[in-house]
Amino acid sequence: MKYPECTRCGKWSPILSAMGNFAMSIFKFVVGGLTGSKGLMADGVHSIADTVSSLFVLIALRISGKPKDAGHPYGHGKVEYISTISAALFIFLCASLILVDALHSFRDGSHAIPGNAALLATIISLFYSYLMYTSNTCAGTQLNSPAMLADAAESKADSLTSVAVLLGLIGTKLGFIYSDTVAALVVSIFVFHIGVEMFMKGVHGLIDISMDRDTLEDIKNICQRVRGIEGVRAIRSRCMGQKCSVDIDIEVSRTFTVLETHTMVEQVKAIILNKIEGLDGVFVRAYPIEKWRFWN
């Protein structure tokens, strides 16, 4: 985490996102209904999905923040992945509703020309979605929160769909009467795509996704720089929400005493926890090897 303010931002960003997405969904529905814009109405459904996603994030962050206990020795971090999957399933439902409505419009041949207010509403929506995307991405990255990053991805998708709606509205003004309905269809595709990404991230988290290779390589290099460690046999890691744990097997000379080996293990733990962010636990096992040491 780069700044102390990241924790405060991580607390308020999902709250503001949920409240803002709900307000934007009402705004889009009202303006879309008054102006007859299919694309804006579809974007309103997407904002409802954003609202539910943000609520899932708020619940997940509250639960995942609970301390470890006897029944949950690794904490409650995986709740964030469950939250991500739940939000993805709801997003699939919203995308299906948008798609069905757009297909019905094509079948019925309805092609009302939206009013000019729809253009202004879409621009406002685009600005808000991008603002939420940057805020949640920053906080989610600094806090290493899968749920917040999923919420940021939702805001990014909302920005893209707003662009599609805006282009569709401009198209109707230029005489392409079906462009607004096509925009609604594009919105459904965007929503489906982001739902698939969120679902897969949640699934990967539930099956104990590992830390990235660069971080594991940094941990290996830290171990090898500690005096007395002859090599690193294996490094295994598992991430549970915002925190990760790592298991390390090191090799030491069998000429070391038990106390010396224990001191070396504790030194490795302390250095890794100090230099690598986002770790909740470091477990080190020492394996004796046939190698003579040249110091006392």
Work out the average pLDDT over 135-146. Answer: 76
Q: Is the pLDDT of residue 69 over 80?
A: no
Q: Rounded CA gap, 69 and 90, in Å? A: 31
Q: Is the pLDDT of residue 255 over 80?
A: yes
Q: Rounded CA gap, 56 and 60, in Å? A: 6
Work out the average pLDDT over 232-261. Answer: 86
Q: Which residues contact 250 (CB under 8 A, 6 or more apart)?
A: 223, 229, 230, 231, 232, 233, 265, 268, 284, 285, 286, 287
pLDDT of 19: 84
pLDDT of 96: 82
Same fold, 5-206 and 213-289: no
- Strands in 243-253's sheet, in edge-to-edge order, are 229-240, 243-253, 279-289
pLDDT of 75: 67
Give the residue, 70 or 287, on which the prediction is more confident.
Answer: 287
Q: Is the pLDDT of residue 249 over 90?
A: yes
Task: Tell me the C-alpha to C-alpha distance, in Å, between residue 201 and each of 13, 18, 58, 145.
Answer: 21, 21, 18, 12
pLDDT of 285: 92
Token code pair at residue 6: 């990241």
Answer yes or no: are the C-beta atoms of 7 and 143 closer than 8 Å.
Answer: yes
Phi, psi of 74 (to 5 degrees): -100, 10
Least reliable range by pLDDT among 5-14, 88-97, 279-288: 5-14
Q: Is the pLDDT of residue 143 over 80?
A: no
Radius of gyration of the chain (CA): 25
Residue 247 confidence class, pLDDT cut points 50, 70, 90: very high
pLDDT of 108: 65
pTM beyond 0.75: the answer is no
19-45 burial, b for 16+ CB within 10 Å, e for fewer? ebbbebbebbbebbeebbbbbbbbbbb
pLDDT of 3: 60
Highest mean pLDDT among 74-78, 192-196, 285-289: 285-289
Q: Break the chain into its structural domains and give their ranges.
A: 5-206, 213-289
Residue % of the chain over a pLDDT of 90: 6
pLDDT of 174: 79
What is the per-residue pLDDT across 89-121, written as a single tens digit (0 to 9) for each?
877 887 787 778 777 766 765 556 677 788 888
Task: Tell me the C-alpha to C-alpha distance, in Å, between residue 40 and each of 16, 95, 97, 120, 156.
Answer: 22, 14, 14, 11, 17
| CATH fold for the domain made of 5-206 | Alpha-lytic protease prodomain-like (1.20.1510)
Mean pLDDT, all residues of the chain:
78
Pick from 44, 9, 2, 5: nearest CA to 23: 44
Q: Is the pLDDT of residue 2 over 70?
A: no
Q: Rounded CA gap, 143 and 2, in Å? A: 9
Highest mean pLDDT among 35-39, 143-147, 272-276: 272-276
Q: Rounded CA gap, 173 and 155, in Å? A: 27
Q: Is the pLDDT of residue 281 over 70?
A: yes
Q: Rounded CA gap, 172 and 112, in Å? A: 9
Q: Is the pLDDT of residue 13 over 90?
A: no
Pick from 162, 40, 44, 46: nearest CA to 112: 40
Token code pair at residue 267: 């030194």
Work out the average pLDDT over 248-252. Answer: 91
Q: Is the pLDDT of residue 248 over 90?
A: yes
CATH number of 213-289: 3.30.70.1350
Q: Is the pLDDT of residue 130 over 90?
A: no
Task: Count the Cβ atoms, other than its own, within 10 Å of residue 76.
Answer: 19
Give 118's Cβ-side CA count (13 Å radius). Answer: 31
